[in-house]
Structure 1
Amino acid sequence: MAGLQHGAVAFRFKQDPVSELAQLWSVGWDLQTSPIYSWSGTERKDLGKIIFQVTLSGYGDVQIDGKTHRVHPGQAFVVKSPSNYRYYLPETSEKWEFMYITLYGKEADRCYEHIREKTNQVIRFHPESVPVKLVKQIFDEANSKNVTSAYKGSSLAYQFIMELYEYVSEMDREMDEWPESVVSAVLFARQSYQNPIGPDEMADASGLSRYHFTRIFKKETGFTPIQYLTNIRISKAIELLAHTKYTTEEIAALVGYTNANYLNKVCRKVTGKSPGELRKEKTEWQSDKFLQE
């Protein structure tokens, strides 16, 4: 489970009243390295579907109504089939890693039209934005085979649509955009925290030297890379402690720590409490409570 990344899950629920409102069609995490990768909005067979695709690393191109947009890490596009679009890996790009979610239903259509009115359909997302985190959550739920009914699928689809509405309406008041190097590192950390990564790997994801990256990251976010990564891991550990029956040893592995003893040490340093105490209290950890060194 800890090493699971790329893959896709398709949902084929029987038609149901909840599906008419909002429903999942597919969710996935993909890495493309060949320029033959290309999808056309006039040739696809999955008609009436809304596609949201956010770049994690590398870049791709999307053509919408004849205009080409380069989609870098932290940027997403929203399109509907059938319509005049094409997205592909350009020959100048070595890779394009992205997550996507495909939706349908009346609310999905309404949200798509709202996005067309407010944007050019290519949107810059802050790495901490709820829609980006929610796509990963839905992907994890699907891979864990927890989306087993049309009702659960519709609930997740509707939640994503509402978060997308809110994000688009608040875009002008979002915090200052971070440089692409910082966005790339944060997206990498958020998607790979369960693996044995640290500041060196975050620096590699940013495309900068370790020294330059650390200086820029601290300047832009107010935290060191290890503080930021630690918060992600501890937040996830507390969520698992509160809502699952995994052992502390299992949770340590799921959030990227070598063993339960190390998780215990970090938990005490960050929160002042042991994993057992946090589980008993079902503590909710706020994202602004970062470890300070």
Structure 2
Amino acid sequence: MSDSQYGAVAFRFKEESINHLAQLWSVGWDLQSSPIYSWSGTERKDLGKVIFQVTLSGYGEIQIDGRTHRVQPGQAFIVKSPSDYRYYLPETSEKWEFMYVTLFGKEADRCFEHIKEKTNQVIRFHPESVPVKLVKQIYDEANSKNITSAYKGSSLAYQFIMELYEYVSAMDREMEDWPESIVSAVLFARHSYHNPIGPDEMADASGLSRYHFTRIFKKNTGLTPIQYLTNIRIAKALELLSHTKYTIEEIAVLVGYTNANYLNKVCRKVTGKSPGQLRKEKAGWQQDKFIQE
């Protein structure tokens, strides 16, 4: 993964009446490897903000009210400043890769208090969960300079808050108990599908041998690693076909394929139609329609 994929975007909207409800403050994707990385909830200057941070790879630690929690891939914490917390890269961790979104407003405060009451503020998120996907969506929208008004920022902030409510209310009965190794591989695939990766790289992300990884992955997801990665790529390709004017050649590269011919071959196998046909028909595709080898 290249360093160019990391970054942060801050939002400063002027419409105060809108900002009071729910608003974005910042969003980012970061990789930390320095032991000096540390943030304290009693020393931060951005007061009144709610921070949601989800781990993609490696791990960090957070101390909340004197208790230490390890935040591993697929886990996230939610805190508010000022309060008694500190998160950091521990000496035992080589890296901590994560995405975060910082919110403010009455609805953000209310959501934080609800989650604090229901959890220990460190929550495991299924890799397919909407809140995790939505953080990436907000980051992509911000990088593309599509969040240009307080109205759009507030809409995304409110959507994220509502998804958090729904996830926390349902997580006890719906979350699948995937091993941390599989969560790590899935998160890696979801955030790196546009790079030239395959099952070997997914196995590396899991920390397992290729053979053991493939067996455990299929057992937990019902798919082989390449099937899972293909589904991610084709779903993204169909989104780009429906909502952008990129050429099919450009879309192929954007989703991790070498050229349009390869995308056409895979797309036909998964959907039964070519990318051109799908663009013309604006056909939908359900992500639970998996390819079969």
TM-score range, shorter chain: over 0.9
Which position in structure 1 is the counterpart of 2:156?
A: 156
Aligned to 1:59: 59
| Partner SS state of residue 126, structure 2 | coil
Distance 1:34 1:73 in 2: 18
Runs of 4+ in 1 over 6 A off after TM superposition: none
Residues 61 and 88 of structure 1 are in contact (CA less than 8 Å); yes or no, is this contact kept in structure 2?
yes
Q: Distance in 1 between matches of 2:284 and 2:171?
A: 27
Does the 8 Å contact 2:126/2:176 carry over to 1? Answer: no
Partner of 2:80: 80
Q: Equivalents in 2 of 1:159, 1:127: separation in Å? A: 18
Give CA deviations for 1:157-192 in whole Å, capped at 9, x if unaligned: 011000011000001122421000000000000000
Task: Give the corresponding residue for 1:185.
Answer: 185
Look up the match of 2:263: 263
Residue 281 of structure 2 corresponds to 281
Q: Distance in 2 between matches of 1:250 and 1:231?
A: 18
Partners in 2 of 1:52 and 1:46 — Cα distance? 14
CA distance in 1, matches of 2:53, 2:35: 18
For residues 281 and 18 of structure 1, the distance between their equivalents in structure 2, rounded to whole angstroms, comes to 38
The CA deviation at 1:4 is 4.3
Q: CA deviation at 1:282?
A: 1.3
Structure-to-structure mapping, 1:102-181, within 5 angstroms: 102-181=102-181
Q: Which residue of 1 aligns with 2:49?
A: 49
Q: Please name the residue that 1:226 is paired with.
A: 226
Q: Helix, strand or coil for the counterpart of 2:232? A: helix
Give the TM-score, by structure 1 length. 0.98
2:20 is paired with a residue whose SS is helix
CA–CA separation in structure 2 for the residues paired with 1:91 and 1:212 = 29
Equivalent runs, 1:232-243 vs 2, <5 Å: 232-243=232-243
Q: Secondary structure at the match of 2:9?
A: strand
TM-score (norm 2): 0.98
Counterpart AA for 2:140 = D
**5+ residue gaps in structure 1?**
none
- Distance, in Å, in 2 between the alignment partners of 1:18 and 1:171 is 31
| Sequence identity (%) | 86
Contact 1:3 1:195 in 2 (8 A): no
> Cα distance, 1:3 vs. partner?
8.1
Instruction: State how far apart, in whole Å, the 2-side matches of 1:150 and 1:173 are.
Output: 36
Note the aligned Cα RMSD (angstroms): 1.0
Aligned residues: 292
